[in-house]
Amino acid sequence: MARYLITRAWQSALTLLLSTVVVFFGVRALPGDPALALAGEDRSPEALEAIRHHYGLDQPLPLQFAQYVGRMAQGDFGESIRTGIPVSSMLTTALPVTAELAVLAILIAAALGVGAGVLAAVRRGHPAEWLANGLALIGLSVPHFWLGLLAILYLSVATGLFPASGFVPLLDDPVDNLHHLILPAVILGTGLAAIIMRQTRSAMLDSLSSDYVRTAKAKGLRPRAVITRHALRNSLIVVVTIVGLQLGGLISGAVVTEQIFGLPGFGKMTIDAVFQRDYPVIQAVVLLTATAYILINFLVDLLYSVIDPRIRVTGDPA
Partner 1 sequence: MTVLTVPTADAVPVGLSRRTRILRRLRRNPLAVVSFVVLALAAVAALLSPWLAPYAVEQTDFARTFAPPGTPGHLLGTDDLGRDVLSRIMLGARASLQVAILAVATSLVIGVPLGLAAGYFRAWDAVISRFTDLLLAFPFLIMAVGLAAIRGASLTNAAVAVGIAQIPGVIRVVRSDTLRLKSLDFVAAAVVDGASDLWVLARHILPNATSVILVQATVAIPAAILGEAVLSFLGLGIQPPDPSLGTMLATAQQFAARAPWAAVLPGVVIMGLALAFNVFGDALRDALDPKGDRR
Chain contacts with partner 1 (rule: CB under 8 A) = 11, 14-15, 18-19, 22, 26, 29-31, 137-138, 140-143, 145-146, 149-150, 152-153, 157, 198-199, 201-202, 205-206, 247-249, 251-252, 255-256, 259-260, 270-271, 274-275, 277, 279, 282, 285-286, 289-290, 293-294, 297
Between 177 and 234, whose beta carbon lies closer to partner 1?
Answer: 234
CA distance 259 to 29: 27
Between 82 and 178, whose beta carbon lies closer to partner 1?
Answer: 82
- Closest among 237, 178, 243 to 203, alpha carbons compared: 237
Between 178 and 256, whose beta carbon lies closer to partner 1?
Answer: 256
- Closest among 224, 316, 268 to 95, alpha carbons compared: 268
Q: What is the DSSP letter of 265?
A: S
The pair phi, psi for residue 33, each rounded to 5°, is -70, 125
Least gap, CB of 30 to partner 1 (angstroms): 6
The pair phi, psi for residue 83, each rounded to 5°, is -110, -20
Least gap, CB of 143 to partner 1 (angstroms): 5
Between 15 and 177, whose beta carbon lies closer to partner 1?
Answer: 15
Least gap, CB of 21 to partner 1 (angstroms): 9
Kindly list the distances between the CA atom of residue 13 and the CA atoms of 64, 170, 278, in Å, as whole numbers in the listed order: 20, 34, 28
Tally the residues of the chain. Answer: 318
Between 18 and 225, whose beta carbon lies closer to partner 1?
Answer: 18
Residues sharing a CB contact under 8 Å with residue 233, sequence separation 6 or more, in sequence order: none
Least gap, CB of 20 to partner 1 (angstroms): 10
Between 50 and 237, whose beta carbon lies closer to partner 1?
Answer: 237
Least gap, CB of 269 to partner 1 (angstroms): 11
CA distance 305 to 9: 14
Say which amino acid occupies 114: V
Least gap, CB of 242 to partner 1 (angstroms): 13
